[in-house]
């Protein structure tokens, strides 16, 4: 009985790979001296259980950081590569 329950839970976990974003680290890396750089955003998921690096443009980085500030709570779907924000004010 317990083995069946464990198997169902593992199957469900594989099907839904959504993790809470518990921390973020924004970075900019110089590519060529005086040239445009590269922005990345490291997502720390479930307090370090998983990590994912987003390669972003400067425009995308600005929007994403604003959404993090406005939301206070984000989730990331590892399978579909979707960053989701909740508690946003619709006004």
Q: Identify the domain containing residue 79 by its residue range.
A: 18-85
Q: What is the pTM of this model?
A: 0.74
Total tally of structural domains belonging to the chain? 1
Q: Would you state the pLDDT for residue 10?
A: 66
In the chain, which ranges are continuous DSSP H helix? Answer: 2-15, 58-71
Q: Would you state the pLDDT for residue 32?
A: 86
Q: Cα–chain-centroid distance for residue 12?
A: 20
Residue 37 domain flag: yes
Q: Would you state the pLDDT for residue 11?
A: 63
Residue 10 domain flag: no
pLDDT tens digits, one per residue of 11-56: 655 566 899 999 999 999 998 888 888 999 999 999 999 999 999 9
Residue 9 domain flag: no
Residue 1 domain flag: no
Q: Would you state the pLDDT for residue 17?
A: 83
């Amino acid at each position: 009985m317990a083995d069946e329950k464990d198997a169902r839970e593992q199957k469900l976990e594989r099907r839904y790979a959504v993790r809470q974003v518990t921390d973020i680290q924004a970075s900019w890396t110089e590519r060529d001296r005086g040239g445009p750089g590269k922005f990345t955003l490291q997502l720390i998921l479930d307090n370090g259980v998983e990590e994912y690096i987003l390669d972003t443009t400067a425009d995308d980085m600005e929007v994403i950081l604003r959404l993090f500030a406005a939301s206070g709570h984000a989730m990331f779907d590892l399978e579909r590569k979707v960053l989701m924000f909740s508690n946003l004010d619709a006004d």
